[in-house]
Structure 1
Amino acid sequence: MTTELEKLENGDWYYFLDEEVVARKARAAKLCQEFNAISATDPASQTAKIRGIFGQAGKSVSVQATFNCDYGKNIRVGDDFLSNYNLTILDIAPVTIGNHVMIGPNVGLYTVNHPMTAQGRRQYLAKATPITIGNDVWFGGNVTVLPGVTIGNNVVIAAGAVVTHDIPDNCLAGGVPAKVIKPLETDGQINTSEK
């Protein structure tokens, strides 16, 4: 018989009040609470703690408190990862983040979803699909990324956007739901005349 945790990991509907599922989330909540209690004047301890929470972290990782997640071990970040205050990653499914990614304040990355039927929600069902974020991505404040989304390389997601679908490489996207607004330069030059 398939356990609820196995269903979760297979991307199937699972009972989210299952003891093993709840225990995994409780462990993550405890680790996040410990991370959030570390003084901002002790960045070395913050970095060491967040590396213990994440499944994988590259060189130069900086996460500001508060930080919350559902598991932690499903989060993989590359080199030069920076997040501002109040990042929430519901990593029931894997969240893979590339190199040189900056995340503004109050951002949420959510891999978990619930049924659209009242009966399904009454059965406390959930289902998770991965989120993938490429290299050289910047999220403005208050961005939300929904389950199953892939965001390409060299992408800027404007503040307040809700990303419901995949976003291609080399673009600025924004809005609710987020849509491509314009292409971005790829030559590495900074246009200081833009306002």
Structure 2
Amino acid sequence: MKTGLGLKRKFRTLFSYYNLLKFWLRIVFIGFDYANLLLQKVDKYSIKLILKKNGAQIGENCDIETGLTFHNCKNYSNLIIGNNCHIGKNCFFDLREKVIIGKNVVISMQCTFITHIDMSKSNLSKLFKSESHPINISDNTYIGANSIILMGVKIDNLSFIAADSLVNKNVEPKTMVGGVPAKFIKKLDIHLGLS
């Protein structure tokens, strides 16, 4: 008899829609920035539903953990995630520009994606002009815990980013990089029949 599993799934779905309703009510009565804070507290099933219903494109069979933070957005339309991806706990996404994540990508916990620089009222704004660029992470890539990916970076297919790395330049396919800033470690000898 499968009624227990079916009942659990139905309850989980119902609870996800309850959290979606809470999210929309926060938008209406308090504003998007306050509603956005809810994503740091809801369960992983609610996160996917809320993101999809508010503009994000999320593929099939994705596992998105809790505690995500989204910045510089009024919806999630700048977030594109392919099939079979995992996003770990407590990741930070600056969505001023697009963050595009390909298929079969693993993003470990506490990774940060920054798509812009803005010195605002600082005197440094005379030296560093505001700019923003999208981030593109290709298929079959692994990003280690606590890594930071900066604006304009393209991480190519079958690449490995070591934990605690700061990626400020493009990463070639089948390459392992690591460090601050991330530097070439080695070419990966991968013959998996993946494109």
* Band the TM-score falls in, shorter-chain normalisation: 0.7 to 0.9
* TM-aligned CA distance change 1:30 to 1:139, over 3 Å: same
Name the SS of the counterpart of 2:47 in structure 1: helix
Alpha-carbon deviation of 1:120?
5.6
- 1:167 correspondence with 2:168: no
Gaps of 5+ in 2: 1-30
Runs of 4+ in 1 over 3 A off after TM superposition: 29-32, 115-122
Name the SS of the counterpart of 2:130 in structure 1: strand
Which residue, out of 138, 151, 158, partners 1:147?
151
> Normalised by the size of structure 1, how large is the TM-score?
0.73
Which string of whole-angstrom CA distances, capped at 9 and with x for unpartnered residues, describes residues 2-49 of structure 1?
Answer: xxxxxxxxxxxxxxxxxxxxxxxx62x43432233324xxx4333212
- 1:106 correspondence with 2:122: no
Residue 82 of structure 1 aligns with which residue?
86
Map residues 25-174 of structure 1 onto 2, 5 A cutoff.
Answer: 27=32, 29-39=33-43, 43-53=44-54, 55-70=56-71, 71=73, 72-115=76-119, 118-119=122-123, 121=125, 126-174=130-178
Root mean square deviation of aligned Cα? 2.4
Q: Answer 1 or 2: higher relative contact order, Cα 8 Å, separation at least 6.
A: 1
Q: Which has the larger radius of gyration?
A: 2
* TM-aligned CA distance change 1:67 to 1:53, over 3 Å: farther
Gaps of 5+ in 1: 1-25, 190-195
Alpha-carbon deviation of 1:116?
10
Corresponding residue pairs, total: 158
Higher strand proportion (structure 1 or 2): 1
> Normalised by the size of structure 2, how large is the TM-score?
0.73
